[in-house]
């Protein structure tokens, strides 16, 4: 597990270096795009990182997705997201994709 801890610490440190250049402001807070977070994680952790997506609920009104993150087979974190199909035009067709992306970002 110590090796996993080193990998994760290195990935977090690399993320901190990268985030300043790519952060966006949402409601006055700085956020990094999920694409950026995932790119740094993949670059630093490579095939050690395993993201497992589970659709918890999906119907014509909403989608709930859970993503579990594993490093070298050890569970690291869980992210969950809910998207309502009626909330936006994009969610009418892509609620599942948006929920998964948000859950990945949270994991």
For the stretch 23-73, pLDDT in tens is: 788 888 878 888 888 988 998 899 999 999 999 999 999 999 999 999 999
74-84/62-71 β-pairing = antiparallel
**Strand ranges of the sheet holding 74-84, from the earlier edge strand across to the other edge:** 49-58, 62-71, 74-84
**What mean pLDDT do residues 1-13 have?**
73
d(CA 49, CA 95): 25
**Model-level pTM?**
0.83
CA dihedral 84, 86, 89, 91 (to 10 degrees): 20
73: left (phi over 0), alpha (psi -120 to 50) or beta: left
Query: So what's the pLDDT on residue 83?
Result: 97
What value does the mean pLDDT take over residues 77-101? 96
């Amino acid at each position: 597990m110590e090796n996993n801890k080193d990998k994760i610490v290195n990935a977090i440190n690399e993320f901190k270096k990268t985030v300043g250049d790519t952060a966006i402001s949402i409601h006055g807070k700085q956020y990094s795009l999920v694409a950026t977070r995932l790119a740094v994680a993949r670059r630093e952790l490579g095939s050690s990182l395993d993201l497992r997506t589970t659709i918890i609920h999906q119907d014509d009104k909403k989608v709930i997705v859970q993503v579990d993150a594993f490093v070298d087979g050890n569970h690291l974190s869980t992210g969950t997201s809910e998207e309502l199909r009626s909330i936006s035009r994009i969610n009418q067709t892509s609620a599942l994709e948006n929920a998964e992306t948000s859950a990945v970002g949270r994991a």
